[in-house]
Structure 1
Amino acid sequence: MTRGKNKRHRQGDDDGGTSDIWRKIHKTGVATDDNMNQLYMITKPVCSGCRVNTKDNPNCFCALVPPPSGTRKFGLWQKISDFVDSLGFDPNTELRASANSPAGLTNLGATCYANSILQCLYMNKHFREGLFSVEPDVLQQEPVLDQLARLFAQLRLSKKTFIDSAPFVKTLELDNEVQQDSHEFLTLLLSLLEGCLRRSKISKARTIVQDLFRGSVSHVTT
């Protein structure tokens, strides 16, 4: 009995005011904004982390989600390895830290030489913009151009930390078990792209390889 007498009275424990409001609404058929605020406590401030379930605050969700370093004994947030494992792989572990963080390319075995060249070409702004300007019908006719444009688009827009380079490697019919020379790969790839881009009617795309990578050697006799 003593415990009951000394029990702290919490706001909202007395339902007398709430009952009166419901009777008034039922009698008049009108529910004012003030009535709704009092009944559902809409004006209560958003909880900033009380770590307990506040029953009289509809804006408190502390009982639903644990703190970053905590868990729950039951439900979705319980700390049981079997339960967590049953949810499958967490895709958040493959997301970039920020939109400005660069993405990598998957190594399919011995394709690091190709990945390094592709990353260098992608980081060349003029080459990247020239490739993105190629007409869709040209891309449909040239599978290598199409896959390279898709790969660059994923490197630019995807939120993942790495991009699968398999479609591009497959289109080039590269043997992913044989290591190749990166300079030789670059030379052959640029020659192939130069031929593919001749179909484009956009000048900055059609001559992008020549404009960026072609040089000249002259011999002068004096």
Structure 2
Amino acid sequence: KIHLTGEVTEDDIDQLYMIWKPVCQGCRINLKDSPNCFCGLVPPVNGHRKSGLWQKTSEIVTILGPDPADEFRCPNDSPAGLTNLGATCYANSILQCLYMNTTFRNGLFSLEPDILKQYPVLDQLSRLFSQLFFRNKAFIDSAPFIKTLDLDNEVQQDSHEFLTLLLSLLERCLLSSNIPKARTLVQD
């Protein structure tokens, strides 16, 4: 109500905006007639809305699909992951460890192209390491390398046993190289 004088008093403003109502103490619904109730505004912890701003998956994401930027690693100096093809985590962890060994990685990168063609395991391993080194994706597909070794991706294996067998295989393949450092890459 505006007074006959045309003045708006503090009491008029309080009445207009219902500021006089008490602060809500957690009614868990949004009281539409109280400016002091924010209970229904934000969903509770681990909660979500079926529609609107706080819905679990927004409508635009549903229409457009996931953000391709989520597939890129950030920052670029952080290592990329390897896709888990089932029970291949033992192989992926060994491959990550070998990749982080810069002497081993650089030795693999120095191999002659004809050696890579002759030994598919060396070719696929060098391709995998190249992708880990040069691509800025968050994860790299390890399937071609796993397929080269004929590993069953549904059977979990022992990591140490896999490492021993892989290094033995690589050592035999590397003996054909004309580069002295490459021939002793596994021993070094």
Gaps of 5+ in 1: 1-80, 212-222
Map residues 65-214 of structure 1 onto 2, 5 A cutoff: 84-211=61-188
Distance in 1 (alpha carbons) for counterparts of 2:105 and 2:59 = 46
Cα distance change, pair 84–132 in 1 and its aligned pair in 2 (3 A): same
Residues 43-66 of structure 1, C-alpha deviations (whole Å, 9 max, x = no match): xxxxxxxxxxxxxxxxxxxxxxxx
What is the RMSD of the two structures over their aligned residues, measured on CA atoms?
Answer: 1.6
Q: Secondary structure of 2:69's match?
A: helix
* Structure 1 ranges of 4+ moved more than 6 A: none
The TM-score with structure 1 as length reference comes to 0.57
> What is the match of residue 37 of structure 1?
none
The TM-score with structure 2 as length reference comes to 0.67
Q: Give, in angstroms, the shift of residue 84 of structure 1.
A: 4.6
Q: Give, in angstroms, the shift of residue 137 of structure 1.
A: 1.2
Amino acid at match of 1:199: S
Distance in 1 (alpha carbons) for counterparts of 2:106 and 2:72 = 25
Gaps of 5+ in 2: 1-57
Q: Secondary structure of 1:178's match?
A: coil
Distance in 2 (alpha carbons) for counterparts of 1:167 and 1:133 = 21
Higher-RCO chain (CA-CA 8 Å, sequence separation at least 6): 2
Q: Give, in angstroms, the shift of residue 199 of structure 1.
A: 1.5
Distance in 2 (alpha carbons) for counterparts of 1:128 and 1:84 = 39
Distance in 1 (alpha carbons) for counterparts of 2:174 and 2:136 = 29
Distance in 2 (alpha carbons) for counterparts of 1:84 and 1:179 = 36
Number of equivalences: 132
